[in-house]
Structure 1
Amino acid sequence: MNLFPLALAGALAFGAMTAQAQEVTVGVTTTGVPFTFVDTASQQPTGAMVDLAAAIAEDMGATPEFALTQFSALIPALQTGKIDLISAGMFATDTRREVVDFSDPVYSYGDALFVASEDAGEYQIDDLAGEVVGAQIGTTFADQLQAKGIFSEVKLYDSLVDIMRDVKLGRIKAGFGDKPIIAYQVAQNPALGVRLVEDYEPMSVGNVALAVSKDKPELLSEVNAAIAAMKDSGELAEIFAKYGL
């Protein structure tokens, strides 16, 4: 009996499995500057969470493949196996923990309130009672605003850029979103026509973490081991500092 074809087939199958094991598909968004966005020059995904995922993959001996995904579609993509990992400005909340597993925290921040540039008001949440406000669909901020029940409407948007446009045009009174993302965008592009309300007290402060499917505990362990090593070496802080975080 000639065993060579069987041996060859087995080797090829093992090689394919090894190649697959060395790739990790990472879900990122295009609207999460400076966490995740597309560089206009290279047209490649970039940002703090992109650099972090690349560094984690390198530590694991894997190659990252970045998949541009709407924020609201990140968890469904993870659940259906389209991606292996979420690396974005996503809070590790109890609600999300019911369907995905989160890594150890890598960054913490709260929500921000922004209004039109010509609006000089220094608002807190209760000052906006009865107004129309906006938030990004799928975010914890949207859920928190709706739960308060004090607004005439909480409009939900696919992106922060769309919220900023409607705030600038006076279609809604104010917008809410991730403070570091909004601060970065406003600083980089004053033409957006919005400003941060500096004295606003955030509704909450959350921990950003990477998300993994619940059926991949080994991947979660590898991710956490890489994060721990990067915290010890200072590499984690360097990655976020590179983007002003």
Structure 2
Amino acid sequence: MKRVVRHLHRLATGLALAAGVGLAGAQSAAPAATPAPASYNVGATATGVPFTFLDVKTNSIQGMMVDTVTAVGKAGGFGVNVQQTVFSALIPSLTARKVDIISAAMLKTPARQEVVDFSDPVYSYGEGLIVKDSDTRPYVSLDELKGEVVGAQVGTVFLDMLNKKGIFKEVRSYDSVADMTRDLSLGRIKAGLGDQPVIAYQLRQAAFNGVKLVQSYKSVNVGDVCLVVRKGDTQTLERLNKAIAKVKADGTLAAIVGKWGI
């Protein structure tokens, strides 16, 4: 009887040890958390003054959103490497992992949210209506341009707006606002839509000739400008949001917006 008890005791002890080894093995096999990157590649455009633009003197991308992502990186303890990308290629570059973050005048929309994730807002604005400087009509809505030829930049929500209206003779797309305003000044289109603060800034800088913003026009597509990351990249998104909260709280973001006059 004693031999049976000793045998059962040894068996129980062996099972307990085996279970302990199995648990330790499982624990050691658990994947370690991926460390946060020390720096990120950031996509920005060369044609979105004052948000992002190419400074020909330094051959680098500058602007409000460049300053913003740089300040966010400093507040979050990571570096940023800003790279020039055309606007229509920003999201494809992000999803293809050529860049990790988009920092540009890109409005948050439901359609874009299906493909990418947006940070907390850093700025908000709507569309501006541009016409020839000789056009004195006080436009209030796009309905007043029914039957006309109009235009907007490729990849923007404003081009989608015009196409969805379905009331125009033709909707033309342009690679840049500069191309659109050139056609507008030549009378090839009746009006164009673009980022209101971008156009206003460039008009103040005398970058466009023969066109003007319609002051009476009421924006209908007001949205938030955010930093953009790949869908499901919660690690980067959380780092960005924490850093955005810091630069908002300490006044850094407000100073950047003021610097660029928007």
The two structures have a TM-score, normalised by structure 1, of: 0.90
Match of 1:161 in 2: 178
Match for residue 30 of structure 1? 46
Match of 1:103 in 2: 119
User: How far did 1:60 drift?
Assistant: 2.5
Aligned partner of 2:43: which letter? Answer: G
Q: Which amino acid aligns with 2:162?
A: L
Corresponding residue number in structure 2 for 1:243: 260
1:44 aligned partner: 60
Aligned to 1:10: none
Aligned-partner residue type, residue 64 of structure 2: A
Structure 2 gaps of 5+ residues are 1-33
Unaligned runs of at least 5 residues, structure 1? 1-16
In 1: Cα distance, 2:247 partner to 2:105 partner? 18
SS state of the match for residue 69, structure 2?
helix
C-alpha separation between the residues in 2 aligned to 1:45 and 1:174?
29
CA distance in structure 2 between the aligned counterparts of 1:64 and 1:192, rounded to whole angstroms = 35
Match of 1:113 in 2: 129
Shift of 1:21: 2.2
Q: State how many pairs are aligned.
A: 228
Q: Which structure: larger Rg?
A: 2
Amino acid at match of 1:96: R
Q: Does 1:87 align with 2:125?
A: no
In structure 1, which of residues 123, 128, 144 is the aligned counterpart of residue 161 of structure 2?
144
Amino acid at match of 1:228: A
CA contact (8 A) 2:177 2:194 kept: yes
Shift of 1:191: 5.0
Change over 3 Å in CA distance of 1:220–1:190 after alignment to 2: closer
Contact 2:181 2:208 in 1 (8 A): no
Q: CA deviation at 1:122?
A: 1.7
Question: Residue 133 in 1 paired to residue 150 in 2?
Answer: yes
* Partner Cα separation in structure 2 for residue 190 and residue 212 of structure 1: 32
1:180 is the counterpart of 2:197? yes
Which of these residues, 173, 189, 200, is aligned with residue 217 of structure 2? 200
1:6 is matched with none
* Normalised TM-score (structure 2): 0.84
Deviation at 1:120, TM superposition (A): 1.7
The superposition leaves residues 154-205 of structure 1 with CA deviations (integer Å, 9 ceiling, x where unpaired) of 1111110000000000010011000000000111016522100110011221
2:79 is the counterpart of 1:63: yes
Residue 99 of structure 2 aligns to a residue whose secondary structure is: coil
Q: What amino acid does structure 2 have at the position aligned with 1:196?
A: L
C-alpha deviation, 1:41, in angstroms: 2.1
Distance 1:152 1:82 in 2: 38
Secondary structure of 1:244's counterpart equals coil
Kindly provide the amino acid, as one letter, of the partner of residue 192 in structure 2: G
Contact 2:65 2:103 in 1 (8 A): yes
* Secondary structure of residue in 2 paired with 1:192: coil
- Give, as a single letter, the amino acid of the residue that structure 2 aligns with 1:73: A
Aligned-residue Cα RMSD (Å) equals 1.5
Q: Deviations over 1:11-69 (max 9, x none)?
A: xxxxxx98x92121000001111000012322211100000111111223222111101
Post-superposition offset of 1:116 = 1.1
Percent of paired sites with the same residue: 50
